[in-house]
Amino acid sequence: MRRLLICLLAVTAALSAAQSPAAHKSSSQTENILMLSDIHFDPFHDPTLVPQLVKAKVKDWPKILATPMTPAAQQAFDNLQKTCGAKGIDTDYTLLTSALTAQHAQLAKPLFVTISGDLMAHQFDCRYKTLVPNGSKDDYSAFAANTVTFVTQQLHGTFPKAPLYFALGNNDSGCKDYRETEESDYLKADGKSFSQVVLDKSNAKEVLKDFSALGDYRVDLPKPFKHTRLLVMQDLFESKKYETCGGKDSDKEAKEQIDWLNKELADARSKGDRVWVMAHIPPGIDAYSTFTKANKGDNTSCKYSKPTEFLGSNLFADTLRDNADAISLVLLGHTHMDEMRLFAGKTSDGGIPGKLVPSISPVDGNNPSFTVGVVDPAKSMLMDYSVYAASNQTGVGTTWSLEYTYSTTYNEPDYSAASLTALTNGFLTDPQSKTAASQAYESHYFVGGPSAGLNLKAAAMSVVWPIYTCSLVHDHAKTFTACACPAQ
């Protein structure tokens, strides 16, 4: 379905002129945070510079990457794209710099910054092996870790006084997409980089203590938050596509990771702490893949009886459900789209608000974006957020403007489970997406700014809307199918 979406985008009108950024005002009870995801930085965008990057220290990368691209370099990049079967272009240094500049201009002093995974470009292993054919496995792992360190340092340089909390995604690996091995040198290197930007000694110790095992860690959120911890997971180990670096299927790591999560949640509960959880891949149903598969010849009475799930088991979703009373928010990424989730709780009036943060990478045809959140530390809650979108996908002559603000678009007082229950109930009872709220969700799902005339992005989303709304609130195949096929 994403291919359909991109094809429809190809015939949409050009974006309208950029809007003036809206100011973010914090009351004495609220603070502003910055939420990012799926940066997918590509150090191979100028292939002629890669030999220098391989030899250089990370601190020298900016000077190298700032080298103007020549026609020969552009041709080399085009060839690399073909060799690696790329479907789009990820974030180069120009776009990354544009994004960081815009983020700082909009929010110079965030209370903290969250990055919910996928710092590295797609097809990273193919790009490296093509351009560094004599590189060893250890060389590859070191270069991958250096890329993560570079992104970390670029963000830290932009927000030197703000704690940065990073999760890793499926592309963030020392060997290959969806592959990793616990206690790897890559994880150890990333843990060291991340520990240096949390800006709190006790939090840094927590990162170093746990990260090298499976890429997980806990931190206490900064003042004025009290008794609120953030649990960060590298949940590629939960993915159905996960393999060790040696190419072996294994579910041991997923079970160990969930054991770690349960232990941390039990500790938080015993101390009366509230919890935020951040990972990359969302638990639950991939509605677009489910829709695409169902329309390729599934002749069962219900086309959606075998939905596609993001993860390999329900362990993550079940753990969230069992601890819904202690968890205030779940931050995720992976889809590159701007999405909501309401994760089920044990009771019908429970649940956890989830936010899938849209990407900086434009690889899927979406425009790059970042999200500014308004939080209430006393309640440990996300109250509101605004999404800012780029006017183009290159970072060249780019303006960044307000796409929308949650509170004014959906008329909800906060981003709580109660508010999302009301909102998603409205979506579920509006299969033709006739309400203003449904139309707004469809329009903003695929970030790109307001477009003139017919909004084909929303038209594409509307095809999937009836089953997509089921995926917002049902994270298990059985309940999703009951929602998508009510006659069954």
pLDDT of residue 254: 97
Rounded to an integer, what distance in angstroms lies between the CA atom of residue 193 and that of residue 187?
A: 10
- How far is the first Cα of the chain from the last one, in angstroms, to the nearest whole number? 25
Residues of the chain short of pLDDT 70, as ranges, are: 1-28, 295-300, 348-349, 449-459, 488
pLDDT of residue 25: 52
pLDDT of residue 292: 84
Partners of 330 in beta bridges = 277, 354
Q: Phi and psi for 217 in degrees, rounded to 5?
A: -165, 165
- The answer for residues whose C-beta is within 8 angstroms of residue 403's C-beta and 6 or more apart is 369, 386, 387, 388, 389, 444, 447, 449
Q: Rounded mean pLDDT of the chain?
A: 92
Domain ranges of the chain: 26-38+88-118+132-421
**Fold that domain 26-38+88-118+132-421 belongs to in CATH:** Purple Acid Phosphatase; chain A, domain 2 (3.60.21)
pLDDT of residue 486: 84
